Structure 1
Amino acid sequence: MSRAQILLIAGDFVEDYEVMVPFQALQMVGHEVHAVCPEKAAGDTCPTAVHDFEGDQTYTEKPGHNFELNHDFEDVDPADYDALVVPGGRAPEYLRTYDDVLEIVQHFFEADKPVAALCHGLQILAAADVLEGRTCTAYPALEADVIAAGGEWEDDVTCDGNLVTAQAWPDHPEWLAEFLDCLGTDVEHAEPAAADD
């Protein structure tokens, strides 16, 4: 798949790195990414939250950037997309209450298209009832949610068929590499230019 059409589902207080990094990285290697949010249109923004791991019993939360959406949610037809990205943060907790969001997620699983989800994004997948029999991971506190939804828990970045999951943004390098493999993306590195003598 040389150039994929990828759908990214965002929402208010999506985790900053978990939306910004895949959005930019996937475009960098040539894919087209449509970032959408229910009840919002292209040009609208979602405030983000930075979740950090500083030695406390759970993550800390700080204000992040305003993430600008580039596509209208109401115009999304999941059949037009080759793959789906579901970032974490606080957004999945409320995004999973939208039937349209759950139906979009279900389409990608029914069509066996690549899906990359991490951290609290698995809350949406659990609500969409697509984790039965799937090996996956999420933010560690969601292990019980994944198991209750019929998933098999792993502690590491996991690729089960076309589902790629990770626990949080520190997993970006491995998580994105696995997703690019699922997409069939070849990343070519140019040879450095020879120095002039």
Structure 2
Amino acid sequence: MTGKQILMIVGDFGEDYETMVPFQALQAVGHEVDAVCPDKEAGDTCKTAIHDFRGDQTYMEARGHDFAVTETMAAIDPADYDALVVPGGRAPEYLRTHEEVIEAVQHFFEAGKPVAALCHGPQILAAADVLDGYAMTTYPAVRAEVEAAGCSWVDGVTRDRNLVTGQDWSDHVEWLSEFLDMLGTDIEHGEPVAPADD
């Protein structure tokens, strides 16, 4: 397998697990991932938020990590990337107001390139007007927003054409598996290496 070049759009108070886990997991299987954020330079950090589900009417939020962006958004060309990842959290509600974010998302859909979006991430896709006719899922509170953008909402990880969606970080295993399959990722498992005798 030749690793793909993957773009991830992040922002302050994006969901911690939904940012950190795919960023690391995609690299671990041989892909190259560039994380970008409007108005931040390569090496700047985004503050993340950890969202937890404890039986309340909505999730609770705690401060997460500082996540370093790897490239400057204004300096990259979406055409140089094979796929896009859009994490959730609170970041999508304001990231969708940036024209460069909207234009990047539209590029991936116009070119039919793989896109993986999670939780509140599809708020950006709805703002980019790319969801008409898709079957997809989101965090349930975002359902009305994406249905208004023309999609049919499904209760569970969904793959439709170039788009893979999940409801939240608890969907990581299935969501990432579907995305890796879409990317054509072939993971070979070797024999475990025994520790050296001392």
Asked if these proteins are the same fold (TM beyond 0.5), I'd say yes
**Equivalents in 1 of 2:23, 2:189: separation in Å?**
20
| Count of matched residue positions in the alignment of Structure 1 and Structure 2 | 196
**Corresponding position of 1:189:** 189
- Tell me which stretches of 4 or more aligned residues in structure 1 moved more than 4 Å: 193-196
**Equivalents in 1 of 2:142, 2:100: separation in Å?**
23
Percent identity of the aligned residues? 69
**Corresponding position of 1:87:** 87
For residues 51-94 of structure 1, the C-alpha deviation after alignment (integer angstroms, 9 at most, x for no partner) is 00010000000000000111111111010000000000000000
Q: SS state of the match for residue 23, structure 1?
A: helix
Matches within 5 A, 1:111-126: 111-126=111-126
**Corresponding position of 1:102:** 102
**Equivalents in 2 of 1:195, 1:21: separation in Å?**
27
Q: SS state of the match for residue 20, structure 1?
A: helix
Matches within 5 A, 1:36-185: 36-185=36-185
Equivalent pair of 1:4/1:31 in contact (CA under 8 Å): yes
Q: Give the TM-score, by structure 2 length.
A: 0.96
Shift of 1:192: 2.7
Q: SS state of the match for residue 25, structure 2?
A: helix
Q: SS state of the match for residue 120, structure 2?
A: helix
Instruction: Give the root-mean-square deviation of aligned CA atoms.
Output: 1.3
2:22 corresponds to 1:11? no
> Residue 146 of structure 1 aligns to which amino acid in structure 2?
V
Equivalent pair of 1:2/1:184 in contact (CA under 8 Å): no
Equivalent pair of 1:26/1:33 in contact (CA under 8 Å): yes
- Name stretches of at least 5 consecutive residues in structure 1 with no aligned partner: none
